[in-house]
Structure 1
Amino acid sequence: MTSDYPHWETVPTRWQDNDVYGHVNNVVHYALMDTVINEWMIRTAGFDPLAGDAIAMCVESHCVYKAEVSFPDTIRMGMRVGKLGRSSVRWEIGMVRSSDGTLVAEGHFVHVFVGRGSRRPVEIADPIRAEMQRLVAA
């Protein structure tokens, strides 16, 4: 499992993440995926969401839930690029409960890079693309 994803982050769950059923609510899984992806783009690939010429818009997201996770568990988030296009990227995420290695969810996000003003697709900038290439699934 760990070799399936070249990038890993560990994130804590929070008290407020549990729903009335006693497990992390589905919306939290999406927020964690979005956070891990965007943090990587900003810190590793040099993406500037506030002032760059292009922004990354989510056009598709999906999550398959495999097992429950609850506060105070921590989650290991594995990330890879499933497909890298001219102006789009499909991020694939595996979420693993840290305490026992159980796969709790798998999901994906598709970002299309668009001009900040035009909102029309633009090519992914070369420095960002080069970093994404390192995460392309084999």
Structure 2
Amino acid sequence: MKIIPHKKSNYSCFYNLSTRWKDNDVYGHVNNVVYYEYFDTAVNMWLIENNLLDFKNGEIVGFIVKSGCDFISPISHPSNLCVGISASSIGTSSVTYRAAVFKINDETASAQGFFTHVYVNRVKQKASPIPQKFRDKLQRIHQP
């Protein structure tokens, strides 16, 4: 199956990150699991910047229930990266984020993927509708 790399235009907002020494594996490139960390970091940065993530007192929290990644071209440490994110699907209690990792000066993704958060009530641990304030901010990065 041929994977068509995403372009930066497929994403709504971006976060710059740098690889770390520990990101490389024995093959000399960033290990596959690290890309999920990059995705998670970018989405959490967006949530924090938009006052949607309260680690200690928030009524709802997002649990990842599904994720995937296509690896297109290797990245090695040291590298400066740009991680693009958007919300591809917004449901009653869930949102699927699309994310891609770009080398800082590249327009095509080195890796691209997604993950789905189901928002749950922190105390009851049951799915909870996404509040309207949260939904309004998600709409700003929505790209189906």
Q: TM-score, normalised by structure 1?
A: 0.94
Question: Counterpart of 2:119?
Answer: 113
Match of 1:133 among 135, 139, 143: 139
What is the identity, as a one-letter code, of the residue corresponding to 1:73? S
Q: Which runs of 5+ in 2 are unaligned?
A: 1-6
What are the residue-to-residue correspondences of 1:56-75 with 2, within 5 Å?
A: 56-75=62-81
What are the residue-to-residue correspondences of 1:76-95 with 2, within 5 Å?
A: 76-95=82-101
CA drift of 1:50 comes to 2.0
Aligned residues: 138
CA drift of 1:10 comes to 1.0
- % same residue: 35
Residues 73 and 99, structure 1, Cα contact 8 Å, conserved in 2: no
Question: Counterpart of 2:3?
Answer: none
Q: TM-score, normalised by structure 2?
A: 0.90
Residues 57 and 111, structure 1, Cα contact 8 Å, conserved in 2: yes
After the TM superposition, list the runs of 4 or more consecutive aligned residues in structure 1 that deviate by more than 3 angstroms. Answer: 99-102
Residues 82 and 103, structure 2, Cα contact 8 Å, conserved in 1: yes
What is the identity, as a one-letter code, of the residue corresponding to 2:77? F
Tell me how large the CA RMSD over aligned residues is: 1.2
